[in-house]
Amino acid sequence: TRLSRLHLGLAGLVPRVTLEEVDLLAPGDPVPRLHLRRLHLDLDPLASLGTLSPRVTDITLEGPRLRLERGGDGQLAVAGLGAGGGWEAGKPGALAAFLAQGRLRLTDGEIEWLDRDTLVPTLVLSEIRLDLDNRGAAHHLDLEARLAAAPSARLRVTADLQGDAAQLDDWSGVLDFTLDAGDDPGPPTAGLLPQGLQVAEQLLALEGHYRVQGSRLAAGQARLRLEGLSLQGQVPGQGALAFQAARLDLDLTTDLAGGRLQIAGEGLYLSLPGVFGERPPLRLDRLTGPVTWTPAADGGLRLASDGLEALNPDLGLKLRFSLEDLGASGPGGPVLDLQADIR
């Protein structure tokens, strides 16, 4: 560890050690793995006297830039510090040490989140305020941040989790989140889309409640409301895409057995020449109904709807369908069973 200044003081009546311009180094490597503008360590004087060693109750990190990664094996790590946040084999990880020390605060920071199990680009959060209160195996988290791709979008996350501080990938519990972009134009979803697609919206509001199992979202509900949505670009294997919606409400329910998406859309436009050929773009005044999906044993997916209704001035359409073996590894392709009522 390298630092420019160390001083002792009080935070109220609590003794505090402050380290400024802190660089965390790996043995033999002069390049910092992590830099902190300030690191505050609040001490418990009675516990420290009883053990004859400093006992830290609160840790505050100011101005860190962290890159969190989930590997293909599900392990979480701070980039550059190795799995669990440690960089020396056989020693406790730095991340686990932080999580075991009472309360962890992070202010004015930036976090990059990369999940190597998905194709989603890196998510960058800025102006972070994070408060993680640890009491044994119980952990309460409050997080507020902006999306770096859309500074007008505010993210709020709260979670109550259970698990060993040294086994972050095994934490379980419940998590609630909201994302509000207000009515300012901006692309808060842009950083979540595959390359080649561009999105814009006039209003975005997202909220959800999920059960967490093994540090992953296992089951829950989410609601997304979009107004003035525009999506365009290139879809791999399908060519150009243009999609617009005056309003789109999506209610999502998921569990380990599948999921259900309830759709309510108004003023929809879809142009996908790679699928529609020379036919004109699809225009709908309204689209409502559910779509469900369940995984199959062969790795495929079953999509279905018992009543998806589409309306425009010339046509009313109610679809019932099931699409079997979507993405299955076996021979043959997807099997579609479709019933349509036209009015």
Q: Which two tokens stand for residue 100?
A: 């075991």
- Say yes or no to pLDDT of 27 above 80: no
Instruction: Please count the residues of the chain.
Output: 343
pLDDT in tens, 111-153: 888 777 665 677 888 999 999 998 878 899 999 998 877 777 8
- Say yes or no to pLDDT of 237 above 60: yes
> Which pLDDT belongs to residue 238?
67
- Say yes or no to pLDDT of 85 above 70: no
Q: Provide the 10 A C-beta neighbour count for residue 223.
A: 16
Q: Which two tokens stand for residue 55?
A: 């006992």
Q: What is the mean pLDDT of residues 251-277?
A: 89
Q: Provide the 10 A C-beta neighbour count for residue 143.
A: 18
Query: Do residues 103 and 115 lie in contact, with contact meaning Cβ atoms separated by under 8 Å?
Result: no
The pLDDT > 90 percentage for the chain reads 27
Q: Which two tokens stand for residue 141?
A: 């988290």
Range in 7-16, 38-47, 171-180, 319-328 the model is least confident about: 319-328
> Which pLDDT belongs to residue 80?
53
> Which pLDDT belongs to residue 87?
34
Range in 71-80, 120-129, 174-183, 296-305 the model is least confident about: 71-80
pLDDT in tens, 275-303: 777 888 889 999 999 999 998 776 678 88
Q: What is the mean pLDDT of residues 221-248?
A: 88
> Which pLDDT belongs to residue 185?
47
- The whole-angstrom distance between residue 226's C-alpha and the CA centroid of its chain comes to 18
- 46: helix, coil or strand? helix
In our burial notation (b when 16+ CB lie closer than 10 A, e otherwise), range 24-36 reads: beeeeeeeebbeb
> Which pLDDT belongs to residue 117?
67
